[in-house]
Amino acid sequence: MATPLIQISGLEKAFSTNESWFSQWRFHQGKLKRHKDSVHALNGVNLTINQGETLCVVGETGCGKSTLARVIMGLTTPSAGEIHYLDQRIDQLNNRQRMFFRRRMQMVFQNPYASLNPRMTVYQTLSEPISFHNPQFSQAQVDEQIDELLESVGISASSSDRYPHEFSGGQRQRISLARALSVEPDFIVADEPLSALDVSVQAQVLNLMMDKQEERNLSYLFITHDLAVVEHFATRVAVMYLGRVCELAPTRTLFSAPKHPYTRALLSAIPRLDSNIAQPIRLIGEVPTPTEKPIGCVFQARCPYANQRCYEQSPAMVLQNDGSSVACHAIEEGRL
């Protein structure tokens, strides 16, 4: 089997909530003790991303999907775990060493209104990464490449001296994509790139992303909460809950036979157009904030099938017959 493009193992990230030294001291049983509070955004994530595939990560607000994207890109450092790009470890590099990988991996952010510099024209936005990563390019070569890029994302090259505010949301997101593509990466992380856009414009951006994937054999890590988009676009889907992947499956398998109780609830909640109204599976409560490292299954508090073992022991990912992997005691034991 070919080496996966990105391999993530045991990734953890905790954000400290009392950073300052003074707020870390507490009285505990009559003694002054130092105590660090933290929110555990990622609790041991294992994932691989193969070349040319689209891995979609879905989950509710606060499940750690954006943190995962930022950690992979090196925008925040992980607390534990390893990230490999092909056969090189990339999670502990300094800025200088990372430069090479910045060229290979790019990111598209959620809000095209905030992620483009309002005081830079489209030309400036695009020329900066191109001339930075290709110092040997002449001015003419840079210009040529920018024109090509803009045409390829469906924006006329003549508008390259305009500012972001002169474009619509969809156009801005296409410029963001052009910026990510400008250094010719192999891998693009897209963090909710469609959620600020209208349905018809979503289709434009999604089509563009698929075209580019075909042209350049790109791999995507696509983070979203819109399951309709996932069904359409993903090769494989990872469902996250409270900083853990609870189900990982090929798209078709996940949508036809969801296994994990959380995935089932999530899929049943999509408002669909067809008229046979299936009752959504109601989840009790809301996503808790993981201030303590969870013992047992992360989904225990909301799971209708939880038993004593779920409270005590954390389930491992188990490969199923149809190619999906699920972390659930109930499925392992055949209760579900």
3-class state of residue 106 by DSSP: strand
| Rounded Cα distance, 117 and 115, in Å | 6
Cβ contacts of 132 within 8 Å, gap of 6 or more: none
Q: Please state the closest distance from residue 247 (CB atom) to another protein, in A.
A: 15
225 scored as a contact of another protein (CB under 8 A): yes
17 scored as a contact of another protein (CB under 8 A): no
- Given a contact cutoff of 8 angstroms between Cβ atoms, the answer to whether 223 and 192 are in contact is yes
Give 193-257 as a DSSP string.
TTTTS-HHHHHHHHHHHHHHHHHHT-EEEEE-S-HHHHHHH-SEEEEEETTEEEEEEEHHHHHHS
Q: Please state the closest distance from residue 156 (CB atom) to another protein, in A.
A: 13
CB nearer to another protein: pick between 64 and 74 = 64
Q: Which stretch binds another protein (CB under 8 A): 10-18, 131-139, 165-173, 303-311?
A: 165-173
Closest by Cα among 231, 268, 265, 228 to 249? 231
Q: Which stretch binds another protein (CB under 8 A): 64-72, 135-143, 230-238, 311-319?
A: 230-238
CB nearer to another protein: pick between 87 and 274 = 274
Q: Please state the closest distance from residue 1 (CB atom) to another protein, in A.
A: 23
Which one of 18, 37, 39, 60 is in contact with another protein (CB under 8 A)?
60
231 scored as a contact of another protein (CB under 8 A): yes
Q: Please state the closest distance from residue 76 (CB atom) to another protein, in A.
A: 23
CA angle 93, 96, 99 (to 5 degrees): 90
- Given a contact cutoff of 8 angstroms between Cβ atoms, the answer to whether 300 and 246 are in contact is no
Which one of 30, 118, 135, 271 is in contact with another protein (CB under 8 A)?
271
CA angle 283, 285, 287 (to 5 degrees): 95
Q: Please state the closest distance from residue 199 (CB atom) to another protein, in A.
A: 5
Q: Please state the closest distance from residue 195 (CB atom) to another protein, in A.
A: 10
- Given a contact cutoff of 8 angstroms between Cβ atoms, the answer to whether 72 and 4 are in contact is no
CB nearer to another protein: pick between 50 and 76 = 50
What is the pattern of x (binds another protein, CB under 8 A) and - over residues 237-266?
--------------xx------------xx
Closest by Cα among 49, 45, 78 to 59? 45
156 scored as a contact of another protein (CB under 8 A): no
